[in-house]
Amino acid sequence: MAVLGACMFQSEVIDRVRQVLEPGDFFQPAHTTIWHALLELRRQGAPTDPIALGHRLKRTGDLVRVGGAGYLHELASSASVGSGAEYYADIVRQQADLRALQTAAVRVMQGATTEGADPEEVRALLNASVQEIADRSRRSSGGRLNRFATDGWAFITDTSADTTPVWGEVGNAAWASGESLMLVGPPGVGKSTIAQQIVLARLGLLTQVLDMPVQQGEKVLYIAADRPRQLARAFVRVVNPADEEVLRRRLVFWSGPLPASLNAEPHLLAELAAEHGADTVVIDSLKDVVGKLTDDEAGLAYNNARQQLLRDGVELLELHHQRKQSQDASRNQRPVLDQVYGSAWFTAGAGSVLFLNGAAGDPVVQLHHLKMVNGEIGPMPIIHDHPRGTSRVDTCLDPLTLLRQASPHGLTARQLAVQITGENNPRPADVAKARRRLEALVKAGQAAQENGTGGGAGGGQATRWTATARHISVVS
């Protein structure tokens, strides 16, 4: 009933459902007749609503037999607009498969228990029944097995070589389209504050977050499973009456727990997004939508839910927590992926992982990029303006600012890495990144490079960079 009702609401749903079901999969003969009528209307490009469907069935003389116009309207009310049709069709198909198995089992049992039964004949009957079931399974699931398959050339060439950023820039994305972004940190460091700014940017109410552009989307579903009232108070800081129309039309909040944990029902996340027409989903937070975070099976099941959603073209932002730190752990210590709480499968399936390091309520926290799409974002200090609900990058660690402060002698790449990371012995990767940022300033004409000399008995000189003079024009 739900499948047929969804097909009446949106005729294009029929194209997806027919990949899953055969007409004989319906248990009620009347439903099979209605399905044939829907297929014919779809073939003609005609409407499939109860009125058009009733007219079609009346012409073929089947309307009274299927229950009349009243029953068609009852079917139409059995499902919301096109929502979950393929999921419901899977249920119908599974039940049809079970009936086929039961029929085959009874046929073989009757053959085996008949007086004077020949074992060879029963064995042949069993093999024929198994083959028939296998053929039926392939036919009924053929759509499912081919729905997301494409040839090798199309897969390679139709996928852009450049990652499309949802947040960030090409070659330096904090969040890439088609891959999830996980925002991690201890409680109170501003994960929700940054998430809400990204949400507003997806709605077109902001253009940048932390000096990085955000691609505008269509509609956001925010799963406020953790402290929804507190989240509502946080959003009050950053919206105004002029935003009402956008927020009513393009932002939906789900308050409190989901109907089931996502590790128990991986289909649920994609269903929720489809139900609300969302192209972006925010989960706040993972601990509230997954059963046992430390269980690898739960992690794998959640990743299944995540990938199903992404495959449907929906972007995903996940808020998550870190493992509890030991008392002797340094707050200035660079975080690593192992500090993300739960099974490793949570981070393994994420496209990008950003970590906010600090203590609850700190106005300044450190952002680290633990898992990168392409280029690394940060490390960078983030200043939260808690009363206003905004965040910005602390520009005191901007490479050009640091170069100007270091004049006239300038800085080496290692010295810049020390200042940016706050570590006396920065990693080679941090030094290399600092060098790239300095070279970019040279290309932009904002810095000059003095090449160093190699080592030897007298030692060597490292390459240094200095800020170029700023030209100021006086207008009279």
Q: Do 303 and 179 touch, CB atoms closer than 8 A?
A: no
Quote the pLDDT of residue 193.
Answer: 94
Q: Which CATH class is domain 398-467?
A: mainly alpha
Section 308-327 average pLDDT: 88
Distances (CA, A) of 134 to 36, 94, 129, 348, 385: 24, 14, 9, 35, 62
Residue 2 CA, distance from chain mean position: 27
Give 326-373 pLDDT, tens digit per residue.
555 555 578 899 999 999 999 999 999 999 998 888 888 999 999 999
Quote the pLDDT of residue 150.
Answer: 77
| Cα-Cα-Cα-Cα dihedral sign, residues 12, 180, 299, 290 | negative
Residue 394 phi, psi dihedral angles, 5° rounding:
-75, 110
For residue 220, the SS3 value is strand
Q: Which candidate, 408, 432, 409, places its Cα nearest to that of 420?
A: 432
Quote the pLDDT of residue 145.
Answer: 62
pTM above 0.85, yes or no: no
> In 288-419, where do the E strands start and end?
315-320, 352-357, 364-371, 380-385, 390-393, 411-412
Q: Is residue 309 predicted with pLDDT exceeding 50?
A: yes
For residue 315, the SS3 value is strand
Tokens describing residue 391: 């965040």
Q: Is residue 201 predicted with pLDDT exceeding 50?
A: yes
Q: Is residue 446 predicted with pLDDT exceeding 60?
A: yes
> In 372-450, where do the E strands start and end?
380-385, 390-393, 411-412, 447-450
Q: Between vectors from CA 172 to CA 169 and to CA 176, what angle results, nearest 5°? A: 70
Quote the pLDDT of residue 473.
Answer: 41
Alpha helices in 237-278 (DSSP H): 244-250, 267-276
Q: Which candidate, 189, 194, 221, 190, places its Cα nearest to that of 208?
A: 194
111 DSSP 8-state letter = H
Residue 304 pLDDT level (bands cut at 50, 70, 90):
very high
Return the residue matching tokens 């004049």. 407
Question: Which string of DSSP letters, residue by residue, matches 318-345?
Answer: EEE-BPPPPTT--TTSPP-GGGBSS-HH
More confident: 454 or 340: 340
Q: Which candidate, 224, 209, 169, 181, places its Cα nearest to that of 440?
A: 169
Cis-peptide into 285, omega within 30 deg: yes
26 DSSP 8-state letter = -
- The pLDDT mean for the chain works out to 87
Give 386-418 pLDDT, tens digit per residue.
888 899 988 777 788 888 888 788 999 999 888
Residue 270 phi, psi dihedral angles, 5° rounding:
-65, -35
Return the residue matching tokens 């749903």. 13
Section 117-121 average pLDDT: 89
Give 279-288 pLDDT, tens digit per residue.
999 999 999 9
- Fill in the amino acid letter for 151: D
Pick the CATH number of 165-394 from 3.40.50.880, 3.40.50.720, 3.30.200.20, 3.40.50.300: 3.40.50.300
| CATH number of this structure's domain 2-146 | 1.10.860.10
Distance between CA atoms of 1 and 275, rounded to whole angstroms? Answer: 18
Q: Between vectors from CA 337 to CA 334 and to CA 340, what angle results, nearest 5°? A: 105
Query: Inter-axis angle of helices 2-9 and 29-44, to 10 degrees?
Result: 20
User: What are the boundaries of each domain within the chain?
Assistant: 2-146, 165-394, 398-467
More confident: 72 or 396: 72
Query: Inter-axis angle of helices 50-59 and 68-76, to 10 degrees?
Result: 150
Q: Is residue 161 predicted with pLDDT exceeding 70?
A: no
Q: Do 212 and 174 touch, CB atoms closer than 8 A?
A: yes
